[in-house]
Chain A
C-alpha cells in the first residue's frame, strides 16, 4: 500500500479493530505473528489485512485435532514487508465448514480445494468445491485426517 509502513503493529490494530474475534495474539519474532480468530469473522479480518497491505495469501491448510476440533490455518504475507501472519480458526470436527476467501484473495480457490479434499473442511461459497489433486473416487476419504484407515497402504 504505497508508502505505508507495514510491520507488526498491524497486530495491535487487528486486535483493536476486532476485539471479540481475535485472541491469543503473539509476536514471537520480528517477522512472525500469530493469532487465533473467530471462524465466523474470517472474511472481515482478511479484508482488513488486505486493505492494510497484506496482499499475499500464502497458504491455507488444516490441522486435525480429534475427537472434536479442527483448525484452519491461514498464512498471510505482504510483498512489501518481511512479515508472516499466521491465523488459526478452530471449527467443530463433526461439521467442519468456514467461509471461503475466494472473493478476497483470488488464489484461495486451489488452497481451499486442496484443504477440502485432504481434510473434508467445507468452504462456504467457494465457486468450485471439488477435489483438486486426488481422484474423484477418493472424495470423502479425507486422507490427512487422523482416523483415515487407508494409511499405510501396504497393498
Chain B
C-alpha cells in the first residue's frame, strides 16, 4: 500500500527494511477508491435486514412485507427483531416528543452502515398531527433519511419499491449512510 505508515509514525520509530506499516483508516481509504467497494456495496444492498419496529397503523403493512406472501427474501430483505442485527430502520408513524429519545436510542444501537426509510405521511410530515403540540415534525433534520415512501399507509408493494430504490442508491453510492472512520475509534 502506497499510503502505508499514515498516522502510525509516532509509535513505530524504527522499522526493518522492506517493511511498511499501515493503519485501518488507510486501508479503508484504499478500499473506498478501489473496485472492492463495489463488491462491498453489492453485498450490502443484498442484505438489507430491516428492524421490525412498527410505530403506528403503517406497522401493519410493515409486518405484511416481512411475511411469506411478498417473499422479500428474494431481495435479501429479512425482518429482524433487534436493532443490533438490523441494517434498515423504518420510521413508520408519527413521533411524539416523548418518544423521540427512545427512537434515537434505537437508532444509536444499530451498527453502521445503516439506512432509514420514512414510511407513511405521519413520519414524513406529521400527518394529521402535523400541527399538534406533541408531535415532532421535520424528522429528516434529525435522522439521515434515504427514502420517503408516501401513503396512508403505503401498500406493501410500495414499501418493497422503496427498498429497491434504496438498493439502487447503494449501488450508485448516493446513499446517506456514514461509514465509520477507524480514526474516530470505530472498527
Contacts and interface: CB of A to CB of B under 8 A. Distances in A.
A151 B98 contact: no
B3 interface: no
Contact of A133 (B98, B131, B135): B98
Interface in B125-184: 131-135, 137-138
A143 B98 contact: no
Given A133-B98, A134-B97, A135-B98, A143 B137 contact: no
A133 B137 CA distance: 18
Contacts of A138: 97, 133-134
Contacts of A12: none
B98 A153 contact: no
Interface string B40-58: 0000000000000000000
B97 A153 contact: no
B133 A143 contact: yes
Given A133-B98, A135-B98, A138-B97, A148 B137 contact: no
A150 interface: yes
Interface of B: 96-98, 131-135, 137-138
Residue of A141, A148, A153 with highest tally of chain B CB at under 10 A = A153
Contacts of B132: 151, 153
A155 B133 CA distance: 11
Q: Which 10 A-B pairs have the closest CB atoms?
A: A152-B131, A143-B133, A135-B97, A153-B131, A150-B133, A135-B98, A151-B133, A154-B131, A153-B133, A134-B134
A74 B132 CA distance: 26
A150 B135 CA distance: 12
A114 to B, nearest CB: 12
A106 to B, nearest CB: 24
Interface of A: 133-135, 138, 141, 143, 148, 150-155
Nearest to B132: A153
A153 to B, nearest CB: 5
Nearest to B129: A153
Contact of A134 (B98, B137, B138): B98
A135 B138 CA distance: 18
Nearest to A155: B137
B132 to A, nearest CB: 6
Nearest to A151: B133
Contact of A143 (B96, B134, B138): B134
A78 B132 CA distance: 34
A18 B13 CA distance: 94
A148 B98 contact: no
A41 to B, nearest CB: 34
